[in-house]
Amino acid sequence: MSSQAKTSTEQKLKPKLFSVIKNYSKEQFFKDVTAGVIVAIIALPLSIALALASGVAPEQGLYTAIVAGFIVAFLGGSRVQIAGPTAAFATIVAGIVATQGMDGLVISTIIAGIIMMIMGFCRFGALIKYIPGTITSGFTFGIAVTILLGQIKDFFGLTFRHSPIETVDKVKEIVLCFNTLNPQALLVGVVSLAILVFWPKKLEKIPASLIAVIVGSVMVGVFGMKVNTIDTLYDVSNELPRFTMPHFTFERVRALLPNAFTIAILASVESLLSCVVADGMIGSKHRSNMELVAQGAANIGSALFGGIPATGAIARTAANVKNGGRTPVSGMVHSVVVLVILSLLMDKASLIPMPTIAAILFVVAYNMCGWRNIRNTIKTAPKSDIAVLFVTLIFTVVFDLVVAIGVGMVMAALLFMKRMADVTEAHAWVDIDDEDTDPDNILLKKIPHNTRVFEINGPMFFAAADKYSYMLSDENIDVLCIRMRNVPAIDAAGVEALMGIVRRCEKHNVKVIFSHVNEQPMHAMEKAGFIEQVGKENFCDHIDTALIRAEEIEEMLSSQKAC
């Protein structure tokens, strides 16, 4: 597929379901149903575990899988995307709930959904790729660390004296309260973790999380072990999702905007990353902008029906593909099956031991941490990229994701500008007879006697503006020719720098000619009124034309001096 066709596919605002349903077959329907049922079984304990890690009731994780999962499958831009609660949101949601309450979370999620839909309609899907990979790796590993630390209490059966929210406070509480360790809880946790690690190596078809839940529940129920289960800590409800509209005020919305933007950006990045992974597995191409619209609608729907923020789940999407799912039907089946389990079997699900939930989240944290990517980055990347990665990671753990992404983006942007400034240069050419394979090399051109030629290489922007100040070092010339064939882009500071050079030249009666100005710089100059100031006749499309123009100016000035 050509790059132009890929771009057209990404920008198309049409749900994949409407495209694939035209050639839908009975055989594929049975495969999709099978995959949907298996993914629902995987999603059940994960949704409960992630809801508890997010500081909300267990059924709210299921509401998210039901509502958001169905909307993303129905409207999404991917054939096989499975949406629901994910580990990336656990610490964010827990922080919002602790400080702003459930009402604050609902409003934040709705605003985030609106932002994502606007991004999709404005064709911003392709822009997500400009978030550096070092930042994504850093905050992903940081989130994995916070999830792991947040589950140590339940895995070891500790009794906390306080209810810490921040990760650093949790670590302190773990150290102070480690003497309250419950050996029975630790045994259930270790057995559950062993099943999650070793079961997939033997029987991959049956979800390891389901086996861990069953074994853990049997250990607690049959042997009467004194271990906390979901129903001992939470009032579990089997009620179906109900529509609830939060109370909006301008002050409330303004206060929650930072949280909403964090949810929107993170959901967008993770969803589109999941789509890219799925594309590689099935040889398809997702529609990034339609996916953003669908994810936005899904988050709005999830919030209005009692759920939490949702995004594309890479692990569940991969399970969907591995079990034969190839159309959005499997995603819709997954949501329906979770709905049936919620209404009929929730009383059984509430008996799941908390150490088993913690073990499941340990594995989720390990799978999402991406330690191999970080290891490769440390081995191969420049020190500046490594610094961005670790700053983002540390800030995610110590502070929160909003601060981490903000600081990481500022660092990455500053380092990028430094690199661009380092490769941008302006150097002078003189008339030297030399051999060169490039027919346009200035060394092979005949430069008029009173003309100086400068060639600028690299983008002209504010960080490199000081590199052009010496262009008029020789004032005893008639013409300054500025060659810009290797300038792909220019910003306002770059235009202003060129204006400064032209003004200095005018003071010394030196004419300025521009050669081979590319499209974006030409548009920026035209918008600034720069072309009129210099004169259209002094913008030449090639160095040969520019040198002829310089010769004409020299002859004209020479005749004026003679008169």
pLDDT of res. 275 = 86
Residue where the block lists tokens 């999702």: 241
Residue 371 pLDDT > 90, yes or no? no
- Judge whether 393 lies within some domain: no
- Do residues 188 and 229 touch, judged by C-beta distance below 8 A? no
User: What is the percentage of the chain residues whose pLDDT exceeds 70?
Assistant: 88
- Do residues 262 and 302 touch, judged by C-beta distance below 8 A? no
Q: Where are the beta strands (DSSP E) in 259-393?
A: 311-312
What's 224's DSSP letter? T
* Residues sharing a CB contact under 8 Å with residue 486, sequence separation 6 or more, in sequence order: 455, 456, 457, 458
**Its pTM surpasses 0.85:** no
When the pLDDT of each residue in the chain is averaged and rounded to a whole number, the result is: 84
Looking at the fold, whether 243 and 154 belong to one and the same domain comes out as yes
Residue where the block lists tokens 């790729």: 129
How far, in Å, are 433, 514, 518 from residue 548 at the CA level? 18, 12, 20
Distance CA 434, CA 442 (A): 10
Distance CA 37, CA 441 (A): 66
- Judge whether 76 lies within some domain: yes
CA dihedral for 158, 161, 167, 169, sign (positive or negative): negative
Distance CA 481, CA 251 (A): 57
Structural domain total, the chain: 2
Looking at the fold, whether 146 and 284 belong to one and the same domain comes out as yes
Query: Whole domain around residue 534: which residue ranges?
Result: 425-562
Closest by CA to 132, choosing from 311, 384, 312, 372, is 384
Residue 417 exposed, middle or buried by CB count within 10 Å (0-12, 13-18, 19+)? middle
Looking at the fold, whether 375 and 437 belong to one and the same domain comes out as no
* Residues sharing a CB contact under 8 Å with residue 186, sequence separation 6 or more, in sequence order: 155, 156, 157, 355
Looking at the fold, whether 369 and 432 belong to one and the same domain comes out as no
- Judge whether 128 lies within some domain: yes
pLDDT of res. 175 = 92
- Judge whether 494 lies within some domain: yes
pLDDT digits (tens, 9 = 90+) for 65-94: 999 999 999 999 999 999 999 877 888 898
pLDDT digits (tens, 9 = 90+) for 2-57: 445 444 555 678 999 999 998 899 999 999 998 898 888 888 888 888 898 888 98
- Do residues 131 and 270 touch, judged by C-beta distance below 8 A? no
pLDDT of res. 9 = 52
Distance CA 309, CA 342 (A): 19
Final residue of a structural domain among 381, 416, 433 = 381
Residue 307 pLDDT > 90, yes or no? yes
- Per the structure block, which two tokens stand in for 171? 């670590």
Residue 127 pLDDT > 60, yes or no? yes
- Judge whether 367 lies within some domain: yes
Looking at the fold, whether 308 and 377 belong to one and the same domain comes out as yes
pLDDT of res. 210 = 81
Looking at the fold, whether 37 and 157 belong to one and the same domain comes out as yes
Final residue of a structural domain among 322, 350, 381 = 381
Length of the chain equals 563
- Kindly report the number of other CB atoms within 10 A of residue 350's CB atom: 20
User: What is the percentage of the chain residues whose pLDDT exceeds 90?
Assistant: 30
Residue 436 pLDDT > 50, yes or no? no
* 165-169, 208-212, 233-237, 421-425: least confidently modelled range: 421-425
Distance CA 97, CA 195 (A): 32
pLDDT digits (tens, 9 = 90+) for 320-363: 887 788 999 999 999 999 999 888 877 777 788 889 888 888 88
CATH of the domain at 511: 3.30.750.24
The SS3 call for residue 305 is coil
- Judge whether 17 lies within some domain: no
Looking at the fold, whether 321 and 429 belong to one and the same domain comes out as no
- Judge whether 78 lies within some domain: yes
